[in-house]
A and B are shown apart, each in its own frame.
Chain A
Amino acid sequence: MERQLLRYHLPKRFSANKLQQLLSAKYQIYQHVLPSQTLIFYDTFEWLLWKKGLICWYFQNQLSLQWLDYFTSPYDLYALDSLELTSPPDILHLPPSTFAHRVQKIIKARALTPTAEVLFTSTLFDCKDSEEKTRVRLQLDILQPPSQAKPKVKSLIVQPLKGYTADANFCQQLLTQNQCNKTSQTLLGEMEAEGLILPSSYSIKPSFNLTPELSVHDVIAKVTSQLLTLARLNEAGIVDDIDIEFLHDYRVAIRKIRSLITLLKHAFTAEKFNELKTSFGELGKQTNMLRDLDVYLNHQADFAQLLPDSLQTGLHVLFADFQQARAQEHNKIKKHLKSRNYLRQIKQLETQFQSSTSLCHGPLANEPILKAAKDRIYRQYHVIRKKSRRITPETPDEHIHDIRIACKKLRYLLEFFADLFPTNEITKLVSALKKLQDHLGLFNDLCVQQEFLQEYYHKELKKARHPAEENYQLCLSVGGVIAALYQKQLQVRKKITDHLSLFIDKDVRQQISHRFSTAEGEITHEDTCELQH
Chain B
Amino acid sequence: MKILASYSIKGGVGKTATSVNLAHLAATQGYRTLLFDLDPQGASSFYFRVRPSEKCKSKFFFSKEKKLQKNIKASDFPYLDILPAKLSFRNFDIMLNYMKKSTTRLHKTLLTLKKEYDLILIDCPPSISLLSENVFNAADKILIPLIPTTLSERTLQQLTTFFTTHGYRNKKLIPFFSMVQTQKKLHKDAMTRLRKQYPRLLETSIPFSADIEKMGIHREPVTAFAKDTAGAQAFKTLWEEVESELACSKQKKRA
- Chain A positions near chain B (C-beta within 8 angstroms): 1, 67, 70, 77-78, 80, 126, 131-134, 161-164
Contacts and interface: CB of A to CB of B under 8 A. Distances in A.
A70 B253 contact: yes
A1 B253 CA distance: 11
Contacts of A1: 32, 79, 81, 116-117
B203 interface: no
Give the residue among B51, B74, B253, B254 with the most A Cβ atoms within 10 A.
B74
B74 A131 contact: no
Nearest to B80: A1
B49 A163 contact: no
A164 B255 contact: no
A132 B71 contact: no
B114 to A, nearest CB: 12
Interface of B: 32, 48-51, 53, 71-74, 76, 78-79, 81, 116-117, 219, 252-255
Contacts of B53: 163
B73 A164 contact: yes
Given A1-B32, A131-B219, 10 more contacts: A1-B116, A77-B78, A80-B255, A131-B49, A132-B219, A133-B48, A133-B50, A162-B81, A163-B72, A163-B74
Contacts, number: 41
Contacts of A70: 253
B117 to A, nearest CB: 7
Given A1-B79, A67-B253, A77-B78, A162 B73 contact: yes
Contacts of A67: 253-254
Tell me the interface secondary structure of chain A in the complex: loop
Q: Which of A1, A80, A162 has the most CB of B within 10 A?
A: A1
Nearest to A162: B74
Given A131-B49, A132-B49, A164 B253 contact: no
A454 B117 CA distance: 61
Nearest to A163: B73
B32 A161 contact: no
A80 B250 CA distance: 11
Given A1-B32, A1-B79, A133-B49, A163 B71 contact: yes
Name the 8 nearest CB pairs between A and B, nearest first.
A163-B73, A133-B49, A161-B74, A162-B74, A1-B32, A134-B76, A131-B49, A77-B78
25 contacts: A1-B81, A67-B254, A70-B253, A77-B79, A80-B252, A80-B255, A131-B49, A131-B51, A131-B219, A132-B219, A133-B48, A133-B49, A133-B51, A133-B76, A134-B76, A162-B72, A162-B73, A162-B74, A162-B81, A163-B50, A163-B53, A163-B71, A163-B73, A163-B74, A164-B74
Contacts of B253: 67, 70, 78, 80
A67 B255 CA distance: 9
Contacts of A162: 72-74, 81
Contacts of A77: 78-79
A67 B32 CA distance: 19
A162 B76 CA distance: 11
Nearest to B49: A133
A132 B218 CA distance: 11
A162 B53 CA distance: 12
Contacts of A134: 76
A263 B101 CA distance: 79
Contacts of B48: 133
A133 B79 CA distance: 16
A164 to B, nearest CB: 7
B56 to A, nearest CB: 10
Contacts of B78: 77-78
Contact of B73 (A78, A131, A161): A161
